[in-house]
Structure formats: C-alpha cells, structure tokens
Amino acid sequence: MVKALLQRLARWLDRPFFPWKNLVIGFSLAEFALENWLLFRQYRVLSKTVQPKSLENEVDKPTFDKSQEYGRAKAKFSFISSLFNQVKSLAIIYYDVYPKVWAFAGVLLTRYAPTRFSGEITQSLTFVFLFGLIDTIAGLPFGYYHSFVLEERFGFNKMTVRLWIMDMLKGQALTVAFGVPIGSAFLSIIKRTGQSFFYYLWIFMLVVQVSAITIYPILIVPLFNKLTPLKPSPLKDAVETLASKLKFPLGELQVIDGSKRSSHSNAYFTGLPWKKKIVIYDTLLEKSSDKEVEAVLAHEVGHWKMGHTTKLLVISQVHLFYIFALFSVFIDNASLYNAFGFLKDRPVLVGFLLFNEILSPTDAIIKLLMNMLTRSMEYEADAFAAKLGYNAELGSSLVKLQIQNLSSMDADWLYSSFHYSHPILTERLKALGWNGETKAANGKSEDSEKALKAADREL
C-alpha cells in the first residue's frame, strides 16, 4: 500500500516544464532570509550592556561584556560565511554546475581510469570528490579566520597552522576511506533493489550508524586527540562508585587533550549499550573542582539512565526512513533532472542531492522540533543530577562552563528555539532552583561550600 501510494505521488510530481529550479532558489532564499532575521534578533540581545538580573551575582561585568563581544563576533562571522555560502549555492544552481562537474568527472574517468572503473557508481564518487574539493578550497579562508583570528582573539585557539592543516588532511583521508565503500554500497543497493530500495537502504544506514558508534572512539578520535586513562584519584573513585550505583556500564574513564586545540571545556560518553566510555576534557579537570566534574558526569549519566540516547537514535531512524521513502518519489523524476541541466543522464546521487534541496524547507521545522525535545531532555538530565545531590555543584559548574566558554549569557527566545539544543544558562539555573548567593547558607556540605567559594573567586 505504501509502495503504491508513493508510485502515484511520483507520477503526479513528474510534470514537464515544472519550475523545479525556481522553486529550489526560492526555498534557498527564504531559508537564508529566515536564518539572518533570527541572527539579527540575537545580535540585538548580544548588544545589551546589562547582564540578566539572575546572573548579576554570578558573572562580573567584564566577563559579561567579553561574552557579549564574543557572541557578536561569532554572529558577524556567521553572517559573512552564510552570505558567501548562499551566493555559492545560487551560482551552482543558476549556472548548472552540477551537470558540468558530472560531465567533467566522466571525462576524467574516460581519460585516466581503467575501463573497469567506468560506470555510474565510480562517476558518482568522483563527482562527490570534486565537489568536496571545491567546498574545501572555498572554505579555507573561513576556517583559517575562525581558528586563527576569531578564536585566537578571545584566547580559545590552541592550534598551530601545521596542526590545522594536518587535521584537514586527516579529515579528507577519512572521508575518502569511509565515503568510497559506503557511497558504493548506497548506490548499489538502490540499483539492485528496484522501487523498494528505501527499505534496504534504511537497514544499511542503521548498520552504518551502529558501526560508527563502535569505530569512532576506537579508531577516529585517537587520530586527532590523545586519550589517557584517568589517573587513580578521589574523582575516579567517585565516578566509578556513581556508575556502579546507577548500573551504568562504564568500561573506560578517559581524559582527552582538548587543550591541544582549544580551551573550551566539555565531557561526554560514547559506546555501545553494554559498554560505555566516559571522556573528560583536560580543560574541564583543570578549571573545575572534583565535585563539579562529578556533577557534569552525573548529568551525562542522566541522559543514559532516562534513555535519551536511545530515543534520539530511534527518532533519527524514523526520520531517515521518511527521507529515503520520499526520495523514491523523486528518483526517476525526469522534469526534476531536466530542470537542472540533466537532459540525458539521471544519476541517482545527483537526484538525491536535488531532492534534498527541495526538502530543505522542512529542515527548519524538524530542527525546531528536535531542539524542543533535546532542551526538555537537558532539563531532565539536570533534575536527575540534582536528585543525586549535585544541585549545588551542577549549578556552579554550569556557571563556570559558561564563563570559560564565553557562551552567550542571554538569547532571543525565537533564535534560541531554532538554534540551541540546550536551554540557556538562566533557564537551567532557574529550573534547578539554584541561587549562588544563598547556596552556602542552605546547609550544604563542606565540599559544596568550598566548590562554590572557588567559583566565586574566579568570577
């Protein structure tokens, strides 16, 4: 029934001379206008000179001013880079760059590749490589400016130019190493399974995602960062005790040298359901008390305990199935290919790219809904950590992380709805019922008082 419905929809949408190109350009301009209107709203908030009342006793004026300045600098950079990308995207569509690069990929293979490498799959992979190369070269000035000007100006960048180049080369190598087999399998499945390809493609991508969860911490992360076991310490004992108490399947507790590239702080866990790895940034250990680090990890374990990771994986799979099923409607749409200059060939991979251009208006809606969901999950994880007795430490750690990362202290409500997967600091502190001024007077432990006083001294 689903297959028949999709086939009827496919026939209805394949209309000769339908203005697909104008539709995509209109969608692109509308999305650009929406994003920059939201950015303008946020910029006005970042231009305020008075901090939110709830943070007056937590964040001093110079720190607030620097945070606002950093936010404005990032907003300006975002506008310029998005404007460049918008012009580039429109030029690619308007001047029919897709069919030209496709034809060039074919010429390269005919002239320089053995005959056995001819065919749509090889040409598609070459096409993607060429476009990726164009994007990489075009993005170099922006990447350099972001790391070595913007981040450097505010004291976050720790990379050398050599490390930056090496990261880029490693990233390209990994793209080829994993992209070629995955891309080949992607196209082969579509070619071999007919109109029901989306079922098989969905299963294949699920296997890829689960495999990536396994491979990423073992093979990928060590290529860019050094991971070392957390040394025996009261913190390690406390985290292992917490994991045991909550039946969290802790396999490894490691420290990552995040300071190698940036002074931003964070922590996360990764791994399969039966064995998890907790990774703590060295910058977090350097700038937070043991109790505050425990609180951050209790928050992360809270995500696991309440099944947030599993829920997000299920949602992503539903979304992926929806995308593949809808793509089956457009895969043979002659009017779509013709509108973008493909009068003879109908390469599947190009069709998938064009389909995503048409689907782009739904991205904003999905992003908004997902942010609503993840923000509620962050509140739940905060409440979980608070119930474990980390209310004071979590509050002080959130304030510290905000200061260390110079994250925006306030946000326009509409901008944050579209762009923030986490509630802003004032919202999280309010939900925790946390008040730094009266914390030590509310009968908290001596360790909590010390952690708070340490945080107060840093402000």
- Using an 8 Å Cβ cutoff, are 42 and 412 in contact? yes
310 CB neighbour count, 10 Å cutoff: 12
User: Which listed residue (35, 292, 300, 427) is catalytic?
Assistant: 300
What is the edge-to-edge ordering of all strands in the sheet holding 275-281? 227-229, 250-256, 275-281, 267-272
How far is it, in rounded angstroms, from Cα 270 to Cα 248?
Answer: 12
Alpha-carbon distances, residue 291 vs 153, 338, 431 (angstroms): 31, 62, 20
What are 29's two structure tokens? 């301009």
Mark whether 60 is an active-site residue. no
How far is it, in rounded angstroms, from Cα 333 to Cα 437?
Answer: 64
DSSP reduced 3-state for 7: helix
∠ CA 265-270-276, nearest 5°, is: 120
DSSP reduced 3-state for 255: strand
- Using an 8 Å Cβ cutoff, are 451 and 396 in contact? yes
The annotated binding site for Zn(2+) is made up of: 299, 303, 378
User: Which listed residue (58, 290, 357, 382) is catalytic?
Assistant: 382
What are 311's two structure tokens? 């829920």
What are 67's two structure tokens? 């945070």
Which residue, 133, 51, 154, is CA-closest to 459? 51
Which residue, 132, 125, 161, 129, is CA-closest to 145? 161
Mark whether 56 is an active-site residue. no
Alpha-carbon distances, residue 290 vs 63, 238, 438 (angstroms): 24, 9, 21
- Using an 8 Å Cβ cutoff, are 426 and 52 in contact? yes
The annotated binding site is made up of: 299, 303, 378
Residue 192, phi then psi, degrees to nearest 5? -95, -15
Cβ neighbours of residue 215 under 8 Å, at least 6 residues apart? Answer: none
How far is it, in rounded angstroms, from Cα 295 to Cα 211?
Answer: 30
Alpha-carbon distances, residue 226 vs 174, 235, 290, 383, 405 (angstroms): 18, 20, 22, 32, 22
Q: Name residue 392's amino acid.
A: A
64 CB neighbour count, 10 Å cutoff: 22
* E strand intervals along 331-436: none
Paired residues of 269 in beta bridges? 278
Question: Where do the H-state alpha helices sit in 95-160?
Answer: 97-112, 120-145, 151-153
The residue assigned the tokens 């986490």 is 422
What residues are labeled active site?
Answer: 300, 382
